[in-house]
Structure 1
Amino acid sequence: MSTSTYTGATPADMKVDPRIVAFFERFYAVSDDPTAHEDYAQSFLPDADFAMGAKKTKGYEGILTLRQGLWSGPIKSRKHKLSKIFPFGAGSNELMLYGTVDYGLKNGKAVTCEWAARAVMAEGQQGQLKFKLYQVYVDSTPVANAIKD
């Protein structure tokens, strides 16, 4: 049985809310869709904090604008692979994530980068999990070098 590249492994000795795994499966599928800007921004609480590298923003409009900017540059495609989900403790809503992302660049080159993220989850109005905080750590040097070459 094959699993989605969006399904991260969780510690076997720790109970993790199954909604967390399902949230990230959906979130990274949306992340890799260049047209799903609204769906992406709706993964966050209205007052959520979001940081990707040096870019930081807060709230729906800021997140939507940042997301649109991520697709307006040299990157043509993204394919995330979520390897692991590390909860801060059993039942915790604070997590660290680790994975890779394959970038297809508009110049025809392909680059794979490792990334890590810190996430704090909370329930939204309909009881769905959403980001309260999402901070991504990724070294963009391989992308920058592929653009220059």
Structure 2
Amino acid sequence: MSRFNGTRARALRLQAGIGVEDLAVAAGVSPNTVRSAESGAHQPRPAVAHALAHALGVPADELRLQSGSLTLRDVRTRLGLTQAQIAARIGVVRQRVSQVERGMSGVRAPFSWALAYGLTPAQWQSAHQASRDLVRQKVAAQTGRRHRKTRGSHA
């Protein structure tokens, strides 16, 4: 079973200008259920996930995490925010956000970063690790191509 994408649900709710309480009423669940689902504290039952999707006016598939881990950039994009907006939320410069999103740098206050991205610290850590892994994959792919080109030119 795929996991519920609380970040996406929250972004859609905010985009529509709907409060937690209003979404809860429309979906027939408690406001705490909405908060828990959006924050990732708990995975909602499939019936609850479908009710939230219906209340938000989207197919249930849109509230499922895609295969693979989301990177920080993915999360920010789904929230409809720019690097500058995230930077303003944290109190850093945009270039710092770029470095962190590319997995080039760690952070000293992950809680503040998680809050800015609308994630729990554990979710943020996972997205940060996915960002780092993506960079490693790209570097490995580039290194492999360069190595193959070099070997091929000597033959």
Report the TM-score range of the alignment, normalised by the length of the smaller protein.
Answer: under 0.3
| TM-score normalised by L of structure 1 | 0.21
The structure with more helix, counted as a fraction of residues: 2
The structure with more strand, counted as a fraction of residues: 1
| Greater Cα radius of gyration, structure 1 or 2 | 2
| TM-score normalised by L of structure 2 | 0.20
